[in-house]
Amino acid sequence: MKRYLFFIWIVSSLGTLFYLSNLYKTEVPVFTLVWLALAFLVVLLASDAKYVGFAGVKFSEFMLVLFLNILLLSLVFIVLEPLSGSFREAINNFRGETLFYPSYYLLSQFSGIKGLLAYFICNLFIIIFAEEIFFRGFLIQYAELKLNKFWGVLIQAFLFLIFILILDIDLPPVQNYIFLVGYTFLGRGIIGGWAAARTNSIWPSLISVSVVHTAVVFMYFYYPLYF
């Protein structure tokens, strides 16, 4: 059942990407297509969605890990963002960008809560989902088969860092360092990787990143409570 749900999710994500591209006359994000296609191929060949972290988790374990993941990721932002404004600068660079992060592009297409909701849904079901299913899902599961979970978390964190480097976010040196080391390697790579390795699933890291990123965008552009 999970395998069929996985295929439905992947096909729906791909279909939505192409629909949005046609609707707004924008480019389809290449890397998102790659991560989704590779995950689809892995599950198709292995006949089991657990190899990409698309697996069930005991509710109590899920809630504990989700809470810790959100808490630790939030602390990273609470400590680093007021000092650097790195994520804010990245958001400003990405707004209007259609190739890599269409979720930010949607912020400029809708006003108020509609824009925030579109941003959250696009991330949760497509953009961040694609990244999590490949890095925190497939890579950790594959590395565990060959090595162990510790190396799986570390390897995918480094590879995810390289992926973000390729995107060339174009931040000033200090902000770029904080974004890469703090938010990318530590926040999503290590903390999210730990959550994925602990539960053998992408769900805690996927939900945590989607929620925390949306909260930061909300506080920046809609209700400047902290940053």
To the question of pTM greater than 0.85 for the whole model, the response is yes
Q: Over the stretch 134-159, which tens digit does the pLDDT of each residue have?
A: 999 999 999 988 888 999 999 999 99
How far apart are alpha carbons 42 and 134 in whole angstroms? 10
pLDDT at 20 exceeding the cut of 60? yes
CB-based burial, 77-101: b 16+ in 10 Å, e otherwise: beebbeebbbbbbbbeebeebbebb
Q: Over the stretch 175-184, which tens digit does the pLDDT of each residue have?
A: 999 999 999 9
How far apart are alpha carbons 95 and 107 in whole angstroms? 7
Q: How far is CA 192 from CA 95, 115, 146, 153, 203, in A?
A: 25, 26, 20, 9, 10
DSSP alpha helix (H) spans, the chain: 2-24, 30-46, 59-84, 86-94, 102-109, 112-122, 128-131, 140-146, 149-167, 173-177, 192-199, 203-221
**What pLDDT is stored for residue 145 in this prediction?**
82
